[in-house]
Amino acid sequence: MADRLAASTNSYHGYSLEEALAGISAAGFRSVELASVPGWTEHVTRDADAAELDHLRALLKQHALTPVSLSGHSDLVTDEGMDQFRKALRLCRELGITMITTSTGGHDASSAGSLDHQREEFLKRIGVLADEAAQDGITICLETHGGLLATGVMSKALIQRIGRGNVGINYDAGNVIFYGDTDPLGDLPGAVDTVAHVHVKDKVGGAGVWNFPEVGTGEIDYAAIFRTLDAAGFDGPCSIEVEFDGTIPPLADVDRAMAGSYRHVRQFVPE
């Protein structure tokens, strides 16, 4: 059985998949969230062929890691983005992954035009994609990542309009502050019943400040966050993501941050 506590390979932005999996395994993790985000962190390419997928499976086996989710951010307000998301769903099917995370308007949903336009175009497409995902038991996890998904409460309202049981929230407390200028401790209780996946990402500074350090060294009270999640009966994946300060640190520093994050969060997500 996969461990609920996972690590996102996006924490190794700027480094190879091999380096990411080696560092994640060495930090103590047994589960991983694979990044497949074109133009950002694409550790698994959307058009991966059989040889590439076999290589990935071999690396996962080598490092004793189980993939529990795929970061498959796509621009779901466009037909092209819809096609890209279908490629991400194929990766999930090929790798036996049952959760995929995305926003509405690509990597940064806050830049996809007016909220009314986003909502209209997104709602045209998401139901069809959710139904296709459901055929393979895949849950779509909409990440709190700006735009229509700036906060958990906004995300829940959108999910209620979608009306599909396999669409939930990927709650990222750091992003709720960065994009939504909102305190996650006040926001999460109003959305927790629709949370399917969590990004455990710490934060220093307020809205618009890109500073996401080793978990446990920032300003987010994860003891309180997990009390809220536990009280609601949340039992989904908790994927640690460290994005630092916008620079790419030396690999050894990334490895240390992941190991420290693992030790901190392990107390809230027991084996």
Tokens of 181: 């200028």
- Asked if residue 2 has pLDDT above 80, the reply is yes
CB 245 within 8 A of CB 210: yes
- Taking only the tens place, the pLDDT of each residue in 62-78 is 999 999 999 999 999 99
Among 130, 55, 56, which residue's Cα sits nearest to residue 100? 130
**Predicted confidence band at 223 (pLDDT cuts at 50, 70, 90)?**
very high
- Asked if residue 22 has pLDDT above 50, the reply is yes
CA dihedral sign, ordered 171, 190, 148, 139:
positive
What pLDDT score does 106 carry?
54
- pTM, rounded to two decimals: 0.96
Weakest mean pLDDT among 114-118, 232-236, 256-260: 114-118
Question: What stretches of the chain show up as alpha helix (H) in DSSP?
Answer: 17-26, 50-62, 79-95, 115-134, 152-162, 173-178, 184-187, 222-231, 251-266
CB 104 within 8 A of CB 77: yes
What are the distances in angstroms from CA 195 to CA 27, 52, 166? 26, 32, 11
Q: Domains in the chain, ordered, with CATH?
A: 5-266 (3.20.20.150)
Distance CA 142, CA 140 (A): 6
Q: Report the percentage of the chain scoring pLDDT > 70.
A: 97
DSSP state of 239: E
What pLDDT score does 105 carry?
76
What pLDDT score does 114 carry?
79
What pLDDT score does 101 carry?
98
- Taking only the tens place, the pLDDT of each residue in 97-152 is 999 999 997 555 445 567 888 899 999 999 999 999 999 999 999 999 999 999 99
What pLDDT score does 109 carry?
47
